[in-house]
Structure 1
Amino acid sequence: MKVSLIFPKLPETSTFIGTVKEAEKYSKDKIEFYGFPPMGILYLATYLREKNFDVSILDQFARGYSVERTLKWIKQENPDVLGFSTITTAGTGIISAEISRRVKEEINPNIKILFGNYHATFNDRRILEKYPFVDACIRGEGEKTLLEIAEKVEKDQNFEEIKGLTYRDNGRIVRNDDRPRIENMDTLPFPDRNLLGNVEYKNTVEGLELSVGKFTSAASSRGCAFQCSFCSSSMFWGKWRPRSPENIIDELSILEDQGFNNLLWVDDNFTISKKRLLKLSDLIRKEKFDFNWMAEGRVTQSSKELLNAMKQMGCKILSFGVESGSQRLLEWYNKKITLNQVYDAVKNSKKVGIDMILANFIVGAPIETREEIIETLNFSLKLDIDFPQFHILGIIPGNWIWDQMVKEKKINPDDCWEVGTAVLPIPLSEIMERIRQTHIKFMKRPSYISRQIAKTLKSRYRQKAVLQNIKNIERWDIWNSWKPFWG
């Protein structure tokens, strides 16, 4: 009995960017990928293997495999169950469907094909209605659901009792009850990154490689305590469920033994519990771990005490979800923050010495005016941050904005459920040009350049990152990454 899991590559039309370097070009034994490991299928695969199932993983995105090469891999693995991790905004459900069709037609019609992750959770019926070769969709957290599927397939039994599953039964689509989420996160095994094979992942921000050393990602919690209107996390993961500091320390010890010293915490909000972070900081310093790491924080949870503890435990890059320079938009996004709190969070981060401070912004909301877009872009120039990151608001199934736009008949869900859409207040070309001009203005300010030089002279981490990027400049696509902003 074998289960194979695939993290699909992105369609050419996707706005996501990843850079793959061929193994034979730069190294005899590894593939370099500028992105981070697919933690979802890593958790699933490790969980199944702990239950004595044979499991394999293909990160098609990182390896850059074509559909043909992926089909060859599937044929070699010869799985009984084949699962795809699908994301709406990346459009990976479409390429997963194409691979699935050919698997059934060309390899083995008896392989059970599953879709999971956000796209499958919020589009389960639509997927099964459109693609008859997909057997089931796992909704939400997948470890226990996938385990029960594997057990049922092994015993040649049907799926009628499996919670969290929508499946096909003799031409009929059946949607079982939701599965309760795992309450104790410490019961999950640590994801085994060796399952990813010879892929070496790299962390990048604005085209610059910032993983100084061996890099991976990790999750210290699942879920979110907030319900931003543009986000699907709380509907997918439910309430915030943390791992204990002691459990995290145990995983960090393993990662240290494996040579990792750079981490990206993929939590939706790493700073949600001050008490937990302070204890984790104490334990990390006690164990004398030497990790450089990046995380996302919330501006309302950015006291100097908390940020200083993060600095002491190795935080080099902190990214804030600012989203807008308009208080009206922040309220529409249900962010529950103020612009003054944004200023305070950035100021406190600078005071404690966080090496790199990022801020994420969203523009293009349906209710946004041209003046508010300009207000947000200008707000990025007022903050003492190292890089602004701008995003066009994507409207996808699973969040409040999608439901609202469907209710107001501003979108037809039948037209855009597979890749999402946008309802822009002004032309996209104008928004992109304004973003480009803001990037140019941001980077070319003499005060910004002088601050960056001063920070780099004081930061050993930043110095290493600069030297690394100079050394590797011909090995990756920094200039093309920045080209849209510099013209």
Structure 2
Amino acid sequence: MKADSPHILCVNPWVHDFAAFDFWARPLGLFTIAAILRQNRVRVSFLDCMNRFHPRKTNPVKVYWDGRGPFDKTQIPLPRALDAHLGHVSKKFTRYGALKEWIEQDLLAMDRPDLILVTSLMTYWATGVAETIALLKKIFPDVPVVLGGIYATLCETHARKYSGADQVITGPAEPVLADLVETYTGFTLNEMPDPADLDTTPFAALDLQDAIAYAPILTSRGCPFSCEYCASSFLEPRLRRRSPENVFQELCHWHNNFQVKNFAFYDDALLINPERYAFPLLERIIDEKMDIFFHTPNAVHIKEISAKAADLMFKAGFKTIRLGLETADFSSHRHDIKVKRNEFFTAVDHLRTSGFAKDQLGAYLLCGLPGQNLDEVEASVNLVKGLGLTPVLAYYTPIPHTPMWADAVKNARFDITAHPALTNNSLFPCVRSQQDLDRISQLKKIVK
């Protein structure tokens, strides 16, 4: 007879890639789902294949001052899809995360779950998802596995055919979570967040981790822009915001109860409409004299960096600022240029005046776009360096359901539609000539 409250296992799968590092990367959506389940008295377990702090680890864990650090890694064979379309690849292909035998031992020691929920992030990490689900099926062959997340949403057909999951869901999981749990376990979730009010969503269950090196924070969902290369508007069609007070209470929760010092904003729109959202939050943090650090790996919109914004960000404890510059060719209309030259220079001046040091400021520059002239990239790198900022090359990943996808398919030097792994930005799929590939290698050296 089934227990009143089911046991649900939430899984963060392995990453298969040529290179990976923990740049404040946590499965925030999965932790949010886990929090909703716990709110409904569901017994939740968490299996983190990417656990840098696995209890079976004997070597010291390397943790930078800001919470980042390297993953454990194991070299694995190149997936057949890559081998067949690329031929010989000199780069080493790697499983990043905890050792496979550790994860298998974790599963064997675990009580049998009634349902397994697996998330997915980058589309080109599809083989890591498949390997994780294969192991779950080996240990718990009769337990249903449901896959969601970014890869599942953007590459739904591929995920249904090759992931090994019993069911694939697309888009945000909250609207379908209650139906999923009732279908597979017979249990009813009575307390569900209001999709129109993000403040009703419980704080993500980050405490399920063995250690909380940093806390990801999302003050909003969605983005007011629709950049050609980005899938944000497909994944989250409308912009929704949490109240500044709700976000502040979450910061207090992790800092006061779990001694978390570093926070990474995952927002696409952190500084949009700042008088109503960001400024009240930052002023509250400053007033409370909270000794915490903030990082913006998703970049902030340059146009919104006023003198007041820069001053509040500095006083509140922002330590890593990434600007969404994309290119310093301000005359170009090839892509969605969101900032003018004078706006960029003014924003940088505000940040420097407020007290930010050179090594705290970086600007993302797109590289490897279909048909891109690398002269433009080099000029952008030089301009950014000339201003005393760190140029950060953001290598283009072709993503289905984006306006640029058709252009990427047309310009790619191999068939990127054959397998998501072929869109890996380490392969520079839309850079057609060896000369340009060599030049990108030189640009990497200039940036360093």
Matches within 5 A, 1:97-246: 97-104=130-137, 106-131=138-163, 133-155=164-186, 182-197=195-210, 199-201=211-213, 215-246=214-245
| Secondary structure in structure 1 of the residue aligned to 2:50 | helix
Flag the 1:129–1:302 CA change in 2: closer, same or farther, 3 A: same
| Secondary structure in structure 1 of the residue aligned to 2:418 | helix
Identify the match of residue 443 of structure 2 among 414, 435, 440. Answer: 435
Return the alpha-carbon distance in structure 2 between the equivalents of residues 262 and 81 of structure 1: 33
Q: What is the CA-CA distance between 1:431 and the residue it aligns to?
A: 3.4
Confirm or deny: 8 A CA contact 1:397 1:417 kept in the other structure.
Answer: no
Identify the match of residue 52 of structure 1 among 34, 41, 58. Answer: 41
Return the alpha-carbon distance in structure 2 between the equivalents of residues 292 and 374 of structure 1: 32
Return the alpha-carbon distance in structure 2 between the equivalents of residues 293 and 322 of structure 1: 20
Q: Which amino acid aligns with 1:16?
A: A
Are 2:8 and 1:3 equivalent residues in the alignment? yes
Q: Which amino acid aligns with 1:433?
A: S
Q: Which amino acid aligns with 1:107?
A: I
| Secondary structure in structure 2 of the residue aligned to 1:15 | coil
| Secondary structure in structure 1 of the residue aligned to 2:224 | coil
Q: Which runs of 4+ in 1 moved over 4 A?
A: 407-411
Q: What is the CA-CA distance between 1:244 and the residue it aligns to?
A: 0.2
Flag the 1:101–1:192 CA change in 2: closer, same or farther, 3 A: closer
Identify the match of residue 351 of structure 1 among 346, 350, 353. Answer: 353
Confirm or deny: 8 A CA contact 1:229 1:401 kept in the other structure.
Answer: yes
Q: What is the CA-CA distance between 1:286 and the residue it aligns to?
A: 3.2
Matches within 5 A, 1:331-480: 331-355=333-357, 356-385=360-389, 387-406=390-409, 412-421=415-424, 422-427=429-434, 429-439=437-447
| Secondary structure in structure 1 of the residue aligned to 2:145 | strand
Confirm or deny: 8 A CA contact 1:297 1:320 kept in the other structure.
Answer: yes
Q: What is the CA-CA distance between 1:374 and the residue it aligns to?
A: 2.3
Q: What is the CA-CA distance between 1:154 and the residue it aligns to?
A: 0.9
Flag the 1:282–1:392 CA change in 2: closer, same or farther, 3 A: closer
Return the alpha-carbon distance in structure 2 between the equivalents of residues 130 and 436 of structure 1: 35
Q: What is the CA-CA distance between 1:328 and the residue it aligns to?
A: 5.5
Q: What is the CA-CA distance between 1:290 and the residue it aligns to?
A: 2.4
Q: What is the CA-CA distance between 1:7 and the residue it aligns to?
A: 1.6
Identify the match of residue 93 of structure 1 among 126, 129, 136. Answer: 126
Return the alpha-carbon distance in structure 1 between the equivalents of residues 317 and 98 of structure 2: 35
Q: Which amino acid aligns with 1:234?
A: S
| Secondary structure in structure 1 of the residue aligned to 2:158 | helix
Flag the 1:252–1:340 CA change in 2: closer, same or farther, 3 A: same
Flag the 1:262–1:100 CA change in 2: closer, same or farther, 3 A: closer
Return the alpha-carbon distance in structure 1 between the equivalents of residues 341 and 371 of structure 2: 19
Return the alpha-carbon distance in structure 2 between the equivalents of residues 274 and 150 of structure 1: 38
Partner of 1:83: 117
| Secondary structure in structure 2 of the residue aligned to 1:263 | strand
Q: Which amino acid aligns with 1:60?
A: C
1:449-484 Cα shifts (integer Å, max 9, x gaps) = xxxxxxxxxxxxxxxxxxxxxxxxxxxxxxxxxxxx
1:91-127 Cα shifts (integer Å, max 9, x gaps) = 33212212322433x3232211122211100111222
User: How large is the Cα RMSD of the aligned pairs?
Assistant: 2.5
Confirm or deny: 8 A CA contact 2:119 2:148 kept in the other structure.
Answer: yes
Partner of 1:285: 286
Return the alpha-carbon distance in structure 1 between the equivalents of residues 345 and 338 of structure 2: 15
Confirm or deny: 8 A CA contact 2:156 2:170 kept in the other structure.
Answer: yes
Flag the 1:14–1:58 CA change in 2: closer, same or farther, 3 A: farther
Q: Structure 2 unaligned segments of length 5 or more: list them.
A: 1-5, 53-96
Return the alpha-carbon distance in structure 2 between the equivalents of residues 417 and 181 of structure 1: 34
Confirm or deny: 8 A CA contact 1:317 1:354 kept in the other structure.
Answer: no
Return the alpha-carbon distance in structure 2 between the equivalents of residues 410 and 271 of structure 1: 38
Return the alpha-carbon distance in structure 2 between the equivalents of residues 151 and 92 of structure 1: 30
Between the two proteins, the alignment pairs up a number of residues equal to: 383
Q: Structure 1 unaligned segments of length 5 or more: list them.
A: 19-33, 158-179, 202-214, 440-484
Return the alpha-carbon distance in structure 2 between the equivalents of residues 347 and 66 of structure 1: 46
Which range is displaced more, 308-317 or 356-365? 308-317
| Secondary structure in structure 2 of the residue aligned to 1:400 | coil
Q: Which amino acid aligns with 2:406?
A: D
Confirm or deny: 8 A CA contact 1:217 1:264 kept in the other structure.
Answer: yes
1:324-349 Cα shifts (integer Å, max 9, x gaps) = 122365x3331322233222211111
Return the alpha-carbon distance in structure 1 between the equivalents of residues 256 and 243 of structure 2: 21
Matches within 5 A, 1:313-332: 313-327=316-330, 331-332=333-334
Q: What is the CA-CA distance between 1:425 and the residue it aligns to?
A: 4.9
Return the alpha-carbon distance in structure 1 between the equivalents of residues 200 and 414 of structure 2: 42
Confirm or deny: 8 A CA contact 2:327 2:366 kept in the other structure.
Answer: yes
Return the alpha-carbon distance in structure 2 between the equivalents of residues 265 and 49 of structure 1: 24
Structure number with the higher helix fraction is: 1
Q: What is the CA-CA distance between 1:320 and the residue it aligns to?
A: 0.3
| Secondary structure in structure 1 of the residue aligned to 2:286 | helix
1:413-439 Cα shifts (integer Å, max 9, x gaps) = 532334525211543641332223312
Return the alpha-carbon distance in structure 1 between the equivalents of residues 433 and 380 of structure 2: 15
Q: What is the CA-CA distance between 1:50 and the residue it aligns to?
A: 0.7
Which range is displaced more, 278-287 or 352-361? 278-287
**What percentage of residue pairs aligned between the two structures are identical?**
22
Are 2:303 and 1:300 equivalent residues in the alignment? yes
Flag the 1:324–1:111 CA change in 2: closer, same or farther, 3 A: same
Return the alpha-carbon distance in structure 1 between the equivalents of residues 215 and 289 of structure 2: 19
1:330-374 Cα shifts (integer Å, max 9, x gaps) = x33313222332222111111111342111111111121232232
1:67-88 Cα shifts (integer Å, max 9, x gaps) = 3332332333322222222123
Return the alpha-carbon distance in structure 2 between the equivalents of residues 402 and 373 of structure 1: 21
Q: Which amino acid aligns with 2:185?
A: E
1:42-71 Cα shifts (integer Å, max 9, x gaps) = 111111111121111122113332333323
Return the alpha-carbon distance in structure 2 between the equivalents of residues 377 and 130 of structure 1: 40
| Secondary structure in structure 2 of the residue aligned to 1:414 | coil
Flag the 1:5–1:98 CA change in 2: closer, same or farther, 3 A: same
Return the alpha-carbon distance in structure 2 between the equivalents of residues 40 and 351 of structure 1: 36
Q: Which amino acid aligns with 2:248?
A: I
Return the alpha-carbon distance in structure 2 between the equivalents of residues 361 and 425 of structure 1: 19
